[in-house]
Amino acid sequence: METINSITVLLAGGVLAVSLWNGRAVRIPEIGDGSMGEAKDGKQEGPGFKRLFLFLAVYALIAVRVIAIGEIPGGLNQDGAMGAVDAKALADYGTDRFGTFMPAHFEAWGYGQMSVLLSYLTVPFIWLMGLTKTAIRLPMVLASLAGIGAVWGMVKRTFGEKTGLAALLLLAINPWHFMQSRWALDCNLFPHMFVLGVCFLMAGIKRKADLYLSMVFFALCMYCYGVSFYMVPFFLLTVCIFLLRDKKVGVREIMVCLLIYFGIAWPIYGTMLINFMKWDTVRLPFVTLQFFSGNVRSADILFFSENKGQQLLANLQSLVNVVFLQRDDLIWNTVRGFGTMYHCAQPFVILGAVLVMWGAFKEEDGDKKIGCRILAIYWIFALLTGLMINYVNVNRINIIFYIHIIFAAVGISFLVKRWKMSLVILSALFAVLGTLFFHAYFTSWAGEIDKAFYGDFVDAVEFAKEYDCDRYYITPDTQYEGAYQVTEILTLFLFDIDAEFYQGKTDRWHDKEIPYKERFIYRNLPAEEVRAEGDGAYIFKTWDRGRFPDDVFYVVFFGEYAAAIPWSYAG
């Protein structure tokens, strides 16, 4: 793949050079493609053809995101499982799995909390489909599709229909957007809520109802990812200053926006204040603002680092590696060799950034200038956010990828206007890369992620679940040796364990009166403690096979794990 990347980058650079040379007499500020798809020569494609092409593009990007959504990625990520277990508790009782009523922020792992919005959005799908991998992944798919719609709307409005279509097609095959849409990680909801907010903010310059609606999405950002506190308020403040200065909004509109934003976001702000001040938990009839005694997340932020100068340089290096050089990241964030948006797209991202920054100050079209200015502010604060987070990876800096895709679309549209042949070359280039990426994702990567997401363990537990044993002795060796919490949260999901049974409020579950802590035991039992009469099922690492004699247990292997079922249950 390294050779292919080198070739495609050189090819993209060649297209960039030829296009710029071919259109050297054209003014730089001519960004986008004019209005509503009008070609440079004044001709317009038939509306029927454009609608058909748009329909096929949208159909393809939806289809590829939902195909085998419950099977790939295989296995189960512990953070996704935790959000799903809390969502199930919310669906059943209006609490998290610990019994906290309508939390504004989840206790999650205890030492590190979790944002709540994705779990709340998952509740209706659990009501309809039960606690399944498909049910917990569909909200992210739908949010990702909404994000695509937002990008299409804002780019079309600002730069024209053809540039909007370029952004749509880039999103359809974009590795980052595709991969994050297919599994349930709470922080990955942040860029979709934010870009929806930006879309309605741009539309709100003309229609105040859209301006107010944008505040809903910006407020929801605060329930997606803690990083939003370092970006969203400062982005909104900066945009507000520019819009007030240019008399695009008045004080009354700003006050209404503040009322809507804080009217929705105040519980999470209150939760953060309570934890900063170390106040007691506040329980209201409709929400809980919880104090968490353990919190290690502050160590992830530059401001709380001991050597801030050295950490800033390290953060800059991480930002460049992840965002601009597109180095391979964690396996669930990138497919090896493809980066977040293909390496050959980077020259177009840089060109688009230059054009948008230029348009933010020099563009003569007033509406386009405002659009460029908002996008420029978005990009600046996304970069600053990347510097504030220690050692970013793809999901920690996920806020930046939408704006880079928009930049790439603007850059490509700019080049195509100058050299028509570049459209053919770039279409073929990205089509080949997209095909290679999807092939890798659904074949080799699918096998790798299954291992990373504990696929063997999941298979073993699901097998043992079919036998309604009195007890389940489950090895805690999953993420690492003795990873009790990870093992437990995966088990809670796979068994669909009732929240009140887990809390100890009831000992009755599946027609048995056995307390949770006696029914599910998370430890490796030594051979002398494995009960010869076989009172329960065992999930263990395959190298412990010798502890389970064939005359007592029915043993089935699942890669690195195995399940041992007493013959009294299996026979």
Residue 336 near residue 444, CB atoms below 8 Å? no
pLDDT band at 40 (very low <50, low <70, confident <90, very high): very low
pLDDT band at 481 (very low <50, low <70, confident <90, very high): very high
| Cα–Cα distance, 430 to 393 (Å, whole number) | 24
Residue 495 near residue 488, CB atoms below 8 Å? no
pLDDT digits (tens, 9 = 90+) for 72-117: 999 999 999 999 999 999 999 999 999 999 999 999 887 778 999 9
Average pLDDT in the chain: 90
Mean pLDDT of 504-531: 88
What was the pLDDT predicted at 21? 60
Residue 122 burial (CB count, 10 A)? 26
Mean pLDDT of 359-384: 93
pLDDT band at 124 (very low <50, low <70, confident <90, very high): very high
Distances (CA, A) of 392 to 100, 330, 339, 471: 31, 11, 15, 42
Mean pLDDT of 374-392: 95
CA geometry: angle 53, 409, 211, nearest 5 deg: 90
* Number of Cα atoms under 13 Å in the Cβ half of residue 237: 7
pTM to 2 decimal places: 0.92
Indicate if the pLDDT at residue 378 is higher than 50. Answer: yes
DSSP secondary structure letter of residue 322: I
Determine whether 330 is exposed, middle or buried from the number of CB atoms within 10 Å of its CB (0-12, 13-18, 19+).
Answer: exposed
Hey, is 500 helix, strand or coil?
helix
Structure tokens at 570: 């299996």
pLDDT band at 291 (very low <50, low <70, confident <90, very high): very high
Residue type, 476: P
| Cα–Cα distance, 306 to 43 (Å, whole number) | 61
